[in-house]
Amino acid sequence: MAIEIKVPQLPESVADATVATWHVKPGDKVSRDQNLVDIETDKVVLEVVAPADGVIGEILAEEGATVVAEEVIGKLVEGEGAVAAAAPASTAPSASASSSGEKLEVKVPQLPESVADATVATWHVKPGDAVTRDQNLVDIETDKVVLEVVAAADGVLSEVLHAEGATVTADEVIGIITAGAVATASEAPAAATTDEGDSEVAGPAVRRMLAEHGLQVADVKGTGKGGRVTKEDVENHLSKTASASAAAAPAAPASAPVVALGDREQKRVPMTRLRKTIAKRLLEAKNATAMLTTFNEVNMKPIMDLRAKYKDEFEKRHDARLGFMGFYVKAVTEALKRFPEVNASIDGDDIVYHNYFDISIAVSTPRGLVTPVLRDTDKMSIAEIENGIRDLAIKGRDGKLTLDDMQGGNFTITNGGVFGSLLSTPILNPPQSAILGMHKIQDRPMAVNGKVEILPMMYLALSYDHRIIDGKESVGFLVTIKELLEDPHRLLLDL
């Protein structure tokens, strides 16, 4: 049987890639999980491994070729019957492991560097379910990212060795697939409910939420882009179901148990790995730093007027919405240039000054608050900043943030104003030395040249580590941001 060797899914916002290096040639015998070829994007190098033992039958895309996601770049003649001088896929023997009932191991993928173990988050199939090649079987959750494990061949999931919640390590076997097997009639309905396209219409966090409530993606109407199911869609579905159940309760048989309204209940749920990590880091930040917060306020009317005047033209020209974050990031970057202590960090008894500007953007996701990094913001236009933040937010929502997206960052911006927060004291994101909190824009009476005017005002809060940043620098940094936001032309004129 000939198996197609395909380009894997590319990172968000990456349209194509390049075939960098083939490590095998036609006729070479390969083993399952052996690296066959490196695919290079402008951000990462992806390894394509053999899905089964066999012989390389054909290479369709040579080194240097430009390819897209899911493009077939080669063919593998599967099984022990394949000879070293493999014939073309069309004439290769049809006998293969997938038709012989071979047991294929479902393994934990390689974990990100510095991550020792992971947790089995959600099995999307159960023993006896029919599966298809490349179907997502299980989500593996680390404290930073969610990894999807797909089926290596068509068949039946015959065994689950590690249930949800189990702690596992890289390459550990967590299940067994019987290749080429067919689900029994009694199991067919369950298998039929497994949708190959679930990963296209719902991210890992949403699918996990669906599984927790015994739902399928098809049960919930998606309101996101392209019919995508969001967390809010699931919550609305559960709310409507609960309301319908409550309305039907009086008609239930007398023998059915009835729970009185207002009954005291509690639910115990284990913390996710991400939540544990957040809790640990917050305690470390509180206990290991001398954290203080200083406040100021900014008149947002100049930026709001600028947005109202140019937002339509800006969107047409740059295919990006002109929001507030582009101005915030630009102002912060300029302020960091003027106050290098705020862009520095403590390492033991040393102070490390960074001559680059990587800003962490706090993003709320279904799994919790994460802080992916926008890199080299001093070299970015406002349009590039807006597009960069949009891409990070989408990846966070869909559970597709990578370790590279999360690592580094010299300063953090968090915007609680999107949730209605008027004032807060943000907590540091170690080893960073400062974090800026933006808040709700609220109309307030202000004294302007001896007269009272109603202006859209916003509070700024800068939390900082007093071990490295003195009060003078912290106040000066915040005042610089205030001045730049109140007169955005300074950002354009570098004043």
What is the CATH classification number for the domain harbouring 25?
A: 2.40.50.100
In a domain, residue 163? The reply is no
Residue range(s) defining the domain that contains residue 67: 1-100
As given in the structure block, the two tokens for residue 466 are: 């007093």
Burial state string for 174-202 with b = 16 or more CB within 10 A and e = fewer than 16: bbbbbbbbebeeebeeebeebbeebbebb
385-392: Cβ within 8 A, 24+ apart:
385/325, 385/326, 385/329, 385/330, 386/318, 386/320, 386/321, 386/322, 386/323, 386/325, 386/326, 387/318, 387/319, 387/320, 389/325, 389/326, 389/329, 389/361, 390/320, 390/321, 391/12, 391/13, 392/361, 392/363
In a domain, residue 325? The reply is yes
In a domain, residue 226? The reply is no
- Whether 466 is catalytic is yes
Alpha-carbon span 211 to 137, nearest angstrom: 13
In a domain, residue 75? The reply is yes
Alpha-carbon span 166 to 91, nearest angstrom: 45
In a domain, residue 176? The reply is no
Nearest CA to 218 out of 206, 205, 229, 203 is that of 229
In a domain, residue 345? The reply is yes
Alpha-carbon span 101 to 442, nearest angstrom: 66
As given in the structure block, the two tokens for residue 203 are: 């991210």
* Domain end marker among 51, 76, 100: 100
* Domain end marker among 84, 100, 116: 100
Q: Provide the pairing of β-strand 118-123 with 136-141.
A: antiparallel
For 94, residues 6+ apart whose C-beta sits below 8 A from its C-beta are 1
Task: Quote the pLDDT of residue 35.
Answer: 86
Alpha-carbon span 305 to 485, nearest angstrom: 12
Question: CATH number, domain at 280?
Answer: 3.30.559.10
For 179-235, what is each residue's pLDDT tens digit?
Answer: 876 655 444 444 333 444 555 566 656 676 777 777 777 778 777 656 667 767 777
Nearest CA to 421 out of 373, 460, 455, 464 is that of 460
Task: Quote the pLDDT of residue 81.
Answer: 47
CA atoms within 13 A on the CB side of 335: 28
Task: Quote the pLDDT of residue 94.
Answer: 38
CA atoms within 13 A on the CB side of 40: 9
Q: Structurally, how many domains does the chain consist of? A: 2
CA atoms within 13 A on the CB side of 254: 0
- Whether 16 is catalytic is no
Alpha carbon of residue 442 to chain centroid: 32
Catalytic residue among 16, 312, 376, 470: 470
Catalytic residue among 23, 213, 466, 489: 466
Alpha-carbon span 330 to 327, nearest angstrom: 5
| Model confidence, pTM | 0.52
CA torsion through residues 356, 357, 362, 367, sign = negative
- In the numeric block, the tokens 């209605």 are attached to 420
In a domain, residue 177? The reply is no
In a domain, residue 333? The reply is yes
Helix, strand, coil: what percent of the chain each, to 5?
Answer: 30, 30, 40
In sequence order, the β-bridge partners of residue 360 are 373, 412
Task: Quote the pLDDT of residue 80.
Answer: 52
Nearest CA to 303 out of 268, 333, 272, 330 is that of 330
Nearest CA to 441 out of 331, 283, 323 is that of 323
Task: Give me the tens of pLDDT residue by residue for the chain, a chain 495 residues long.
Answer: 788 899 888 776 667 788 888 888 888 888 888 889 888 776 677 888 888 888 898 899 888 888 888 888 998 887 654 444 344 433 333 334 344 578 888 988 887 666 778 888 888 888 888 888 888 898 888 766 778 888 888 888 888 888 888 888 888 899 998 887 665 544 444 433 344 455 556 665 667 677 777 777 777 877 765 666 776 777 778 777 766 655 555 544 444 454 445 667 888 877 777 777 778 888 888 888 889 999 999 999 999 999 889 888 988 888 888 888 999 999 999 999 999 999 999 988 899 999 999 999 988 777 677 889 999 999 999 999 999 988 888 888 777 777 788 888 999 999 888 888 889 999 888 889 999 999 999 999 999 999 999 999 999 999 999 999 999 999 999 999 999 999 988 777 665
Contact 100, 94 (CB under 8 A): no
Contact 124, 110 (CB under 8 A): no
Task: Quote the pLDDT of residue 358.
Answer: 94
* Domain end marker among 76, 100, 124: 100
